[in-house]
Chains A and B, each alone.
Chain A
Amino acid sequence: MNRTKPITGELLALKEEIEGYAIKAGLDFFPQIFEVCDYDTINILAAQGGFPSRYPHWKFGMDYDQLSKGYAYGLQKIYEMVINTNPCYAYLLQANNWVDQKIVMAHVYGHNDFFKNNAWFSNTNRKMMDVMANHGTKIRRYMDRYGADAVENFIDKVLSLENLMDINELFETSSLKRHRQEQSDQQKIESQDDGYLNDDRSQALKSFMRTKARINKRDEPLPKKEDDQISAERPLQNKSKDILGYLIQYAPIEEWQADIIGILREESYYFLPQRMTKIMNEGWASYWHSRIMTEDALDSSEIIDFADKHAGVMAMSRQNINPYKVGIELMRDIEYRWNRGMFGKEYNECTDMKEKHHWDTKLNQGRAKIFEVRKSHNDISFIDEFLTPDFCERQQLFTYKYNPRTGRFEIDSKDFLAIKQKLLSQLTNFGQPIIEVEDGNFMNRKELLLSHVHYGVDLDVNFASETLRNLYAIWRRPVNLKTKYEEKEVVFQYDGKEFKTIN
């Protein structure tokens, strides 16, 4: 099924050229592979999250339906898809014109560099293409064995909970977990044979002896532990935001079901860093396509076309924040400020507006600063640290809300703090409500209690009730959700028969 093919000829030469500019600019990226395909294929890829092979599910068909229609009616067009793998694959639309291909390639190198260097991506599996394909094979096999409907049905239920993730899990690599396990085992052993230190030798000496004992122990093989022990140690009252992980461990499900939850969980976590760095990632890629194009790649005859395309991507919207626009402007703003030393105590405390405006310490650390920013930040810390009142004013940012009196949405505020707060609250927990397992043995009846950490915005009750229904299908005992609704503490429950409010 060769729907994509590697670039050749002129495009390949163009790739070499752009890659040269990217290297010159100091970008540090995975080996880059470009392939071309037709619009139908790129729609398929987009529907499948960029991957050529996924598990069978109708939601991909639905997205494909929408994308194809969008393309057919000329509403939207996908120029490129790039995925976070090593080597980094990117798909170009065959029908793009020459300038488009240039922009897209330059843009892709930006993403590639970001994938490789941003800390939040550091533990993503760069062989995800194979993993996804394997997941597909596995799930197809389950379908053969347990019935396509049963498996699909179960996937529907799990997808309902897919957005309930714990971003800290991104750094919970298996080696880290193993290390922690080892340490706790170690401690146990030590506390067991600490007995002989129970005398009146000095603390320093005890400490020394302990260390010595530890070093000796390290070389011995670990005592074999029984598997049951681990789960027995963990009480069901373990708080967790990683709902799917929790279900794998504690829900009364069969092995294949646990495996499916594991598969979907792994895929969700793979995409999580992309959801957490949308503004930065797009801003960074746009910054670089703009730079590479205007400084190196652009032929003078292509300037108008480039400007037109670039402006289209950067278009501001009165209804929504355009991550490309905010991202690129913020990157440029940081570069500008760090070039001129416009930060720190002295600058902040300067009250002379004119002096502030012309502030320039010739620091020239802009470029270094944005490279550092792209390495260590995510959208939240990025906005939190670098959004300035000046920037909001220049970018004409505003918040709006519904005015029931006039029946329309109206600009609410152009105040810096209001904007920043709104933006941050939209980005908190990658835009999803924070839900955690509070109790796996609620009321001592093996019921599940989730709690919604309420930051001022209620949940959509219809969706919540449907979601609880799906959760019930997995937990098979009544499921409860503690939240705040219309200013009141409530607990919603679905007990297999009806959705109701208790207490």
Chain B
Amino acid sequence: MDHPIKRDHARFRKIVKGKIRDNLRKYVSHGSQIIPKGTDKFTVPMPTIDIPRFKFGDKSEGGMGQGKGEAGDPVNGQPDPNGQPGQGEAGEGEGHKELEVELSLEELARILGEELALPNIEPKGKKSLQSVVDRYTNIGTVGPDSLRHLRRTYKQALKRQIATDSYDPENPVIIPIRKDFRYRASDTKVEMQNAAVVIYMMDVSGSMGDEQKEIVRTESFWINLWLKSQYKDIEIRYIIHDATAKEVDEHTFFRTRESGGTLISSAFNLCKEIIEKDYNPNEWNIYPFHFSDGDNWSADDTKLCMDLLDKVILPVSNVFCYGQVESRYGSGQFYKDLVTKYGQTSDKLILSKIKNKEGILDSIKEFLGKGK
């Protein structure tokens, strides 16, 4: 049996997750607070979980130290409330440093999913490979002793004794016989091997400022998180464009700033090429996302975009998402054009307007809420 502290630990984790859920909006609108750690772990700062006490409320008050120096010399670093080296005494540790908890991708995604009531995604049927796994989730009447399920066995024995009236509540002795024995048994499950690709496109022309990019970055973080939790295998590609488009890595994607004009079709063209080259729609679930402030160079180009969407991108994608980030310079025309063409709600195309950081969570809900 595990040490009881594991239960305390599980309880602690549950409280932490509850806290994150309660404050999800805050975490989402300050995207940088959640720090990815490796590929599937995240560190979340938790300021408020500790038990409140009456305590002195000073940071400016300073403290005491040891070492060389004269009055006026800086004390390197900040005072560390836990600055104790080496050995520790069985003591009452006061002063917790700010708590950081680690969550796995699944846990974080589940929190997001529960809070936004996101439906699970049904991967496109035939595009999944099947694989067989055995899991011990069943109970059987035969099996080796090492797999005997004591609780079920005794339950069975109790049932039998009550049924045969040989159970005496005054003397509650339960003796299992051979046929009461129950064993853990394996279930064979078919799991889908499925893969998805997310293609992010972003307008990096002059009108998209740092704030707009920050919004896109935060939003893409949560979208990736959700999709990663839904698919076994996921690839992410990044395209930036002004008047021309190019594929870049993640780092460049969020840091590039160009000044040229805007031809959205250039990105759509590149997206189309990438799909055609690397992702067979029969095997891949494809998610193109496009973020811009809604400015396009000309009505002609917008028409070209619609054509590309209709002919190539929409038919192969699970869903195409367009997020329009409000900016001081953007006209927002592209959104209106899309609405005119496809209507406010469409099966294959999701539109979302993101006003500011606070709007991110709602926008994520719009994009992912359909379970596509």
Contacts and interface: CB of A to CB of B under 8 A. Distances in A.
B165 interface: no
Given A320-B80, A402-B60, A412-B71, A278 B53 contact: no
Interface of A: 1, 3, 41, 44, 46-50, 53, 56-66, 69, 76, 78-84, 104, 107, 111, 136, 152, 156, 159-164, 271, 274-275, 278, 281-282, 309, 312-313, 315-326, 395-402, 404, 406, 408-414, 419, 422-423, 426, 431-433, 435, 452, 457-464, 466-467, 469-470
A60 B5 contact: yes
Contacts of A469: 52
Contacts of A53: 4
A176 B295 CA distance: 84
A164 B54 contact: yes
Contact of B65 (A315, A320, A323): A320
Q: Is the interface of B mostly helix, strand, loop or mixed?
A: loop
B94 interface: yes
A422 B3 CA distance: 42
Contacts of A452: 54
A384 B333 CA distance: 76
B53 A160 contact: yes
A1 B85 CA distance: 31
Given A414-B70, A463-B52, A467-B54, A49 B90 contact: yes
A134 to B, nearest CB: 15
Given A396-B69, A409-B74, 9 more contacts: A57-B8, A60-B5, A62-B12, A66-B99, A312-B86, A319-B75, A397-B65, A411-B72, A419-B64
A320 B54 contact: no
A460 B12 CA distance: 25
B75 A409 contact: yes
B55 to A, nearest CB: 5
Given A282-B89, A315-B85, A58 B8 contact: yes
Contact of B64 (A49, A400, A432): A400
A460 B5 contact: no
B64 A321 contact: yes
B49 to A, nearest CB: 7
A493 B52 CA distance: 16
A389 to B, nearest CB: 16
B54 A433 contact: yes
Interface residues of B, number: 61
A10 B101 CA distance: 40
B12 A320 contact: no
B63 interface: yes
A53 B5 CA distance: 9
Contacts of B96: 66
Contacts of A408: 74-75
21 contacts: A58-B11, A62-B12, A63-B93, A64-B8, A81-B90, A156-B51, A275-B91, A275-B92, A278-B89, A317-B66, A319-B75, A322-B83, A400-B75, A402-B61, A410-B74, A432-B53, A452-B54, A460-B57, A461-B57, A464-B54, A467-B54
Contact of B58 (A80, A163, A275, A457): A457
A400 B81 CA distance: 14
Nearest to A79: B87
Interface of B: 1, 3-13, 15, 49, 51-81, 83-94, 96, 99, 101-102
B159 to A, nearest CB: 24
B99 A399 contact: no
Contacts of B54: 163-164, 432-433, 435, 452, 459, 463-464, 467
A458 B56 contact: yes
Contact of B61 (A163, A282, A401): A401
Contact of A319 (B11, B52, B63, B89): B63
Given A64-B9, A65-B101, A410-B75, A317 B65 contact: yes
B70 A325 contact: no
Given A411-B75, A458-B56, A64 B5 contact: yes
The 10 closest A-B pairs by CB, nearest first: A460-B57, A401-B62, A50-B90, A466-B52, A61-B8, A61-B12, A61-B9, A313-B86, A316-B66, A320-B83
Nearest to A457: B56
A164 B52 CA distance: 12
Q: Which of A47, A66, A271 has the most CB of B within 10 A?
A: A66
B219 to A, nearest CB: 30
Contact of B87 (A50, A64, A107, A409): A107
A396 B12 contact: no
A414 B67 CA distance: 11
B278 to A, nearest CB: 38
B195 to A, nearest CB: 32
Contact of A433 (B55, B60, B62, B69): B55
A312 B61 CA distance: 28
A130 B74 CA distance: 49
Nearest to B53: A163
Nearest to B68: A396
A4 B101 CA distance: 28
Contact of A460 (B56, B62, B69, B83): B56
A395 B11 CA distance: 45
Given A1-B1, A58-B8, A411 B70 contact: yes
B66 to A, nearest CB: 4
Given A58-B8, A313-B85, A402 B62 contact: yes
